[in-house]
Amino acid sequence: MTQTTLRDYLNGSALNPDLIHLLEEVANACSVVADRVRNGAFEGNLGSANATNVQGETQKTLDIVANDEFERTCARSPRLAALVSEEVEEVTWLKEPEAGDYLLYFDPLDGSSNIDVNLSVGSIFAVMQVEKDGDRDVLHKGRKQLCAGYAIFGPSTMLVLTIGAGVAGFTSQQNGSFYLTHPQMTVPTETSEYAINTSRYRFWDQPVRRYVDECVAGEEGPRERNFNMRWAASMVAEIHRILIRGGVFLYPADSKNRTTGGKLRLMYEANPMAMLIENAGGAATTGLVSIMDVQPTGPHQRVPVILGSKSEVERLIAYHKKES
């Protein structure tokens, strides 16, 4: 049986060869990060670094290692103009921007609080383009993403990618190559599984409380059926589960995080996941507007996130509209 590699898949697409080159370097970066994560204990890289990032989070050593590996590997791509990373406050310019050059947005290590307990983590990325020669604006809406994806470092390492239409999953083999194993990932419209950090219940707004209360009430409540709940504290793991078997994921704005606009970051967490979920047949919203229609105001801007199976996301939008 011949197997389709990531390279075969990209070469069979209509993507610009420079973009294919960049995506191959992103995949290489993900492989290197997977190795560094796997070998964290041997390389002395578990635990926290003595540093804080622009979001005020204490960085894990592997957050910094992963960021450096992404920078080093992706910088080999000649038309990559700039990097926007969770771990770096300012935009990193690699060249004088020319129209058509690429902009890479990434979360080098997502779910990094799970590192020391050996649970799934990943890397998230998206690519957009420089619009005009000399234009240093990187604050484009998610609708302008050319492609987006993530790598998940779980029982197996996978790369999940959308290059405009559809979502494809590739699994890494021991030789480090990614092979197409999940050619058409789709999010089922209906689901009975939700994911939210319920320790924040007392801070939630009414629409979120109502939704979760109704799920918890199960067949005795207005939904007249039972729901299951999961919370991995690793967005990559939650989104991967939703792309495999459906579900809805929420990290809403609440009374504690309202001033920052939520927890998750628009440009390298919410937008790439929104593109993947929409291209797999699901939906992604802040509760009031589509995530990919939010105009960014800063590279590290945060945004409320509700995404996954369409029927549940639509219900949540309806609950939000009623309250607003």
Cβ proximity of 308 and 281 under 8 Å: no
Q: Does 197 bind ligand AHG (CB under 6 A)?
A: yes
- Pairing type for strands 157-162 and 147-153 reads antiparallel
Shortest distance, position 134 Cβ to ligand AHG, whole Å = 32
Given 57, 116, 135, 214, the residue binding Mn ion (CB under 5 A): 57
Give me 231's structure tokens: 């919370």
Give the closest residue to 110 by CA, choosing from 160, 60, 71, 158: 60
Cβ proximity of 268 and 124 under 8 Å: yes
Shortest distance, position 220 Cβ to ligand AHG, whole Å = 28
Alpha-carbon gap, residue 129 to 16, rounded angstroms: 12
CA distances from 253 to 154, 204, 257, 278 (A): 29, 7, 6, 21
Residue 193 interface partner, choices Mn ion, ligand AHG, none, CB cut-off 5-8 Å depending on type: none
Q: What is the 3-state secondary structure (H, E, C) of 205-232?
A: CHHHHHHHHHHHHHHHCCCCCCCEECCC
Given 31, 85, 157, 234, the residue binding ligand AHG (CB under 6 A): 234
Q: Does 123 bind ligand AHG (CB under 6 A)?
A: no
3-state secondary structure of 136: coil
Shortest distance, position 110 Cβ to ligand AHG, whole Å = 4
Q: According to CB under 5 A, which residues from 80 to 109 bind Mn ion? A: 86, 107, 109
Residue 118 or 184: the one with the smaller Cβ distance to ligand AHG is 118
Q: According to CB under 5 A, which residues from 108 to 127 bind Mn ion? A: 109-110
Given 25, 107, 254, 278, the residue binding ligand AHG (CB under 6 A): 107
Cβ proximity of 115 and 46 under 8 Å: yes
Alpha-carbon gap, residue 307 to 249, rounded angstroms: 5
Q: Does 88 bind ligand AHG (CB under 6 A)?
A: no
Alpha-carbon gap, residue 277 to 308, rounded angstroms: 6
Q: According to CB under 6 A, which residues from 162 to 191 bind ligand AHG? A: none
Residue 197 interface partner, choices Mn ion, ligand AHG, none, CB cut-off 5-8 Å depending on type: ligand AHG
Give me 86's structure tokens: 């969770």
How many residues bind ligand AHG (CB under 6 A)? The answer is 13
Q: Does 69 bind Mn ion (CB under 5 A)?
A: no
Is 23 annotated as a binding-site member?
no
Residue 233 interface partner, choices Mn ion, ligand AHG, none, CB cut-off 5-8 Å depending on type: ligand AHG
Alpha-carbon gap, residue 20 to 7, rounded angstroms: 8
Residue 57 or 116: the one with the smaller Cβ distance to Mn ion is 57
Q: Which residues bind Mn ion (CB under 5 A)?
A: 57, 86, 107, 109-110
Binding residue ranges for substrate:
110-113, 197, 263
Binding residue ranges:
86, 107, 109-113, 197, 263, 269
Q: Which residues bind ligand AHG (CB under 6 A)?
A: 57, 86, 107, 110-113, 197, 233-235, 251, 263
